[in-house]
Chains A and B, each alone.
Chain A
Amino acid sequence: MEQNEKEPLLSAKNIKLLRNPLGQDNPITVQVLGICSALAVTVKMKPAIVMTISVMVVLAVSNVVIAALREKIPGRIRIIVQLVVIATMVIIVDQFLKAFAFDVSKQLSVFVGLIITNCILMGRLEAFAMANKPWPSFLDGLGNAGGYGLILIIVSFFREFLGSGSIMGFPVMEKLGVYNFGYEDNGMMILPPMALITVGLIIWVQRSRNKSLIETK
């Protein structure tokens, strides 16, 4: 990779790295990666946000580490090296959550550990960080984790709002008094299948607005 040393930190190319994964190159809705955890942690908004931050930290730092070492990593064991870096970061994040955000870490339980198996992480390390400098890799990590988190937060917003009648734990529906008119929370929104359907709806909306995402036959 021959890059101009004087390239500004936030050049048009770098901003694209940050912005594309949020929309037209979103890891969940376009690449359909990392779905498993998207289903599991989106019942309430708070765990979804903590999960987003965790993935951001893990992916951005792992990307930088791998990008910094990319010339030194032997090709034959590169996948193992990537896994070791991700696993280390995940354990550190998990330990921090247990120490500083105990209740949330209990809710997320195994899913923090399962960040290791999140396809987005391995994908970014192998496809991007192995071939790019640390700074673009850092942005790429933030962007992709952000795109993942954005969907997580949208899905969890609808699931919590419709399923539990609250936003960020604040009982909106109760305050509005709609229960008095016979409104009831939709318990189905809490169940995992509805996360899949919500993600599906988001994909539908995105594709109807951005025709270039539709595969030609």
Chain B
Amino acid sequence: MKDFSNKYIMVFSVVMVVSVAILLSLTALLLQPRQEKNVEVEKKMNILSSMNVTSAKADAEKLYDKYIKESYVINTEGTVIEGVDAFTVSLRAEQKKPLAEQYLPVFIAVADQGDTLHILPVEGKGLWGPIWGYVALKPDLETIAGVTFDHKGETPGLGAEINTTGFESQFLGKTLYDNGSFVSVQVVKGGADKADPHKVDAISGGTITSKGLEAMMHDCLVKYDKYFKEERR
């Protein structure tokens, strides 16, 4: 290897860094629309799967348009806020705002049997990173018609099990209210009584994820309390 002057090394580094920067920005710029589309389609698939509609990448958009009739944003008082697209609301950003200013998205879907379902997004913290999901509620606005969860990087085989059907199906038929007061669904260790309408089984070895999920369900859905009561009347 030859010995190079300091000047050469400086020029070499600058040229290298600039060309790499240009290359990377170009790639990112060109691929961005496709990547955003993927994220959007995945979100639609998640919303559909919470109401137990299985969709593939190809038909997700069509099915979404078929089932999801309406979507809007409300605040904690239950009043609808005009001019905000519920689909583009990022819960993570909303949760950083003061409670009264938070946008709460509501998706209205009509299931095959003709039931009008309310689909609500939830987002919280697992052990390693964010966890999120969608909860579909039956017309009585307290019985769960279906849920779907996902996570960024929970431990495979342990916390990551929250996005398996085995875990999610436990939520079917559970209720959020007990005699008119909001109680959410508890995730309990060591086996929940199947008949208990407010409890599901935690994931063994995934305690922190399970607890995070329980907190997520409670904290996100309790904000809709006023809206639920208003709507039910």
Contact = CB atoms under 8 A, between A and B. Distances in A.
Contacts of A88: 20, 23-24
Interface stretch (A95-103, A150-158, A202-210): A95-103
B3 A75 contact: yes
Interface stretch (A11-19, A22-30, A76-84, A138-146): A76-84
A75 B16 contact: no
23 contacts: A43-B156, A74-B4, A74-B8, A75-B1, A75-B3, A76-B9, A77-B12, A77-B13, A81-B12, A84-B17, A84-B20, A91-B27, A92-B23, A92-B27, A95-B31, A99-B34, A100-B34, A102-B38, A102-B57, A187-B157, A190-B156, A190-B157, A191-B157
Interface residues of B, number: 25
A188 to B, nearest CB: 10
B38 A99 contact: yes
B209 to A, nearest CB: 16
A95 B35 contact: yes
Interface of A: 43, 71-78, 80-81, 84, 88, 91-92, 95-96, 98-100, 102, 109-110, 187, 190-191
Interface of B: 1-4, 8-9, 12-13, 16-17, 20, 23-24, 27-28, 31, 34-35, 38, 42, 57, 152-153, 156-157
A110 B153 contact: yes
Contacts of A81: 12, 16
Contacts of B1: 75, 78
B165 to A, nearest CB: 15
Contact of A74 (B9, B156, B157): B9
A26 to B, nearest CB: 26
Which secondary structure dominates where chain B touches chain A?
helix
A102 B23 contact: no
Contacts of B8: 74
A63 to B, nearest CB: 17
Contacts of A92: 23-24, 27
B12 A72 contact: yes
A201 to B, nearest CB: 21
A99 B31 CA distance: 6
Nearest to A190: B157
B156 A98 contact: no
B152 to A, nearest CB: 8
Given A190-B157, A191-B157, 17 more contacts: A72-B12, A74-B8, A74-B12, A75-B2, A75-B3, A75-B4, A77-B9, A77-B12, A81-B12, A84-B17, A92-B24, A95-B35, A96-B27, A98-B35, A98-B38, A110-B153, A187-B157
